[in-house]
Structure 1
Amino acid sequence: MGSGADTAAMIDADRDISDETVTVDGNRIHYVTGGTGGPPLVLLHGGIIDAAHISWGELLGPLAEQARIYALDLPGYGTSEMPDGPLSMETHVDAVSSFIDELGIEEPVVAGTSMGGGIAIGLALSYPDRVSQVVALEAFALGSELPNGLLTWLLAKIQVTNYISVALMRRSRGFVERSLDSLTADTNTLSEATVDRVVAEVKRPGAGAAFRKFRASEVTRHGYRTDYSRQVSELTVPVRYIHGTEDDLLPPRWSERAAERTPESDLCLLEECGHLAPLEQTGRVADLICDVL
């Protein structure tokens, strides 16, 4: 993708949403912000080929009507700078905490999807004073088992398939569509605008590099390195868990188990929904987030 200024235009030119940057721990972080004077809402995207305007692109407008939104490109994603060293869950949690501190955001609701959902939970565990409530959508880091066992570990170690996938996505819009469809319950749910955003993002120099670093840190021979499934019993803030019943990437049972162990929580299972809930069931997800603001 091009400059950060292009991001807001790709979301909704008619809304008061703007692109900003801030230096966090020595690295430039791009974020999208806007909305009313309502409660602050920090939005965290997923991994692979993602950025704030992809996972949350369909929701930024509706959410900005109810809250002051801050949707950041996590380190190494979108137009945010890639930090030196490993890019682990801990790295992302610390970066989001520093982002909240740097902007002086007071007790936001933090909503994250997939990798971002795990980061939101990790943030509430490590920095409970930074967060008023968490909304975790099909969250990573609520279990350790790999979806394809040792094959997942092997692919994470050699990384060849990710390079090939990125190359194919750069050459073929059809391959982008099929890749996204594989994560959904209904292949007709994703908008053309969402596909356009992924097509633009995958052409950005360095696309996929942050996810490769993340997998190198988080995927081990024995499972995912970060697993908050037992630590959630120590959470001191409310958590709303949301999960698609047809999610084949991160199993719904992870969120079900976490909800049972979290002292103050509720669980919303979305029927006929895969791994991309904010994009598959945009209206329902908007309602579930706004309900906790």
Structure 2
Amino acid sequence: MLPAAVVPGMTGPVRLEISAAGHAGHVFASREMAGGSAPAVVLIHGIGASHRYLRRLHRLLAGSMETYSIDLPGFGATPKPAYQLSIDDHARYILGALEQLGVAEIVLVGHSMGTQMALEAALQQPEQISNVVLMGPVVDPRHGTVAQMALALARDCLFYESPSSNAVVFTDYLRCGPSWYLKTLQVMMDYPMEQKIAGVSAPVLVVRGANDPIADADWSRRLAGLARRGRLLEVQGTGHVVQHNRALEVRDGILAFAGLGAAAGDPLPGSPA
């Protein structure tokens, strides 16, 4: 499907089936602000998930800027690749798909494992990525075993998530399937976030739900401090799936950070004093 199928003024995103870097995925595109200011915002999901838990944030952002959500190869309703993909592979898919769509300047927003892909894409094409937003970043190497991550995920789901966020996440896990999830899990666990973030030239905003046991406060502060131009936004009253449960606050934080909301340098909504 060609980008021309996206109609200005539409009420919802259009799904585009795009093959790039040797793999097939889906891009959900909204161009409600056709002719508006660059850059475009691109949303990347985490392990086992899809664009579905990004829908609320996508809809809110689409009122201010061109917005795209990507279902990476092997996730959502996309076909499973024949072999395990690296973070580098996923980043090349993201950049290749956006090149086909003619997106020249990008605010790249990743959630959970998607933060790793956002960082990698920013390292591959620094001239194209104007800002990077890391929501609920993983994996803190001090709590970097699968068992520790599973325990943190269980705590998050039981105590800090809404019924709707749990429903979306777990139905996507079922669609992903255990085989592809487990193939991807070790890739996520092995990615060196601390080393990678220091090489990113774009400004970086780290976003966490204040109750998130997966991306805890110390880890999130540390990542923001390691970035050349890093900031931290903590959103109260939610856990790991912050973009679903507090979509309005996250939208406002992204727009302010990208210079499309509050004036540059103004406090971000929800930021600690």
Query: Is the shorter-chain TM-score for this pair beyond 0.5, marking a shared fold?
Result: yes
Residues 26-61 of structure 1: per-residue CA shift (max 9 Å, x gap): 32211211131243111101113x10122x122222
Alignment gaps of 5+ in structure 1 = 1-13, 156-178, 219-223
2:56 aligned counterpart, secondary structure = coil
User: How far apart are 1:195 and its partner, in Å?
Assistant: 5.5
1:183 aligned counterpart, secondary structure = helix
Amino acid at match of 2:51: A
Aligned to 1:107: 105
User: Paired residues, what number?
Assistant: 243
Q: Does the Cα contact within 8 Å between 1:184 and 1:276 map onto a contact in 2?
A: no
Aligned to 2:43: 43
State the identity %.
22
Aligned to 1:53: 52
Alignment match of 1:207 (pick from 155, 177, 184): 177
Compare relative contact order (CA 8 Å, sep 6+) and give the higher one, 1 or 2: 1
Question: Normalized against structure 2, the TM-score is what?
Answer: 0.78
Alignment gaps of 5+ in structure 2 = 1-9, 261-273
How many Å separate the matches in 2 of 1:69 and 1:239? 19
User: How far apart are 1:103 and its partner, in Å?
Assistant: 2.0
The alignment status of 1:246 with 2:246, answered yes or no, reads: no
Amino acid at match of 2:12: D
Change over 3 Å in CA distance of 1:195–1:150 after alignment to 2: closer
Aligned to 1:91: 89
Q: Does the Cα contact within 8 Å between 2:42 and 2:109 map onto a contact in 1?
A: yes
Amino acid at match of 2:191: T
How many Å separate the matches in 1 of 2:187 and 2:100? 26
2:52 aligned counterpart, secondary structure = helix
How many Å separate the matches in 2 of 1:212 and 1:239? 29
Change over 3 Å in CA distance of 1:200–1:214 after alignment to 2: closer
Q: Does the Cα contact within 8 Å between 1:240 and 1:268 map onto a contact in 2?
A: yes
Aligned to 1:174: none
2:192 aligned counterpart, secondary structure = coil
Alignment match of 1:120 (pick from 105, 118, 121): 118
CA RMSD between the two structures: 2.6
Question: Normalized against structure 1, the TM-score is what?
Answer: 0.73
2:93 aligned counterpart, secondary structure = helix
2:120 aligned counterpart, secondary structure = helix
The alignment status of 1:20 with 2:16, answered yes or no, reads: yes
How many Å separate the matches in 2 of 1:144 and 1:16? 39
User: How far apart are 1:117 and its partner, in Å?
Assistant: 1.6
How many Å separate the matches in 2 of 1:183 and 1:117? 20
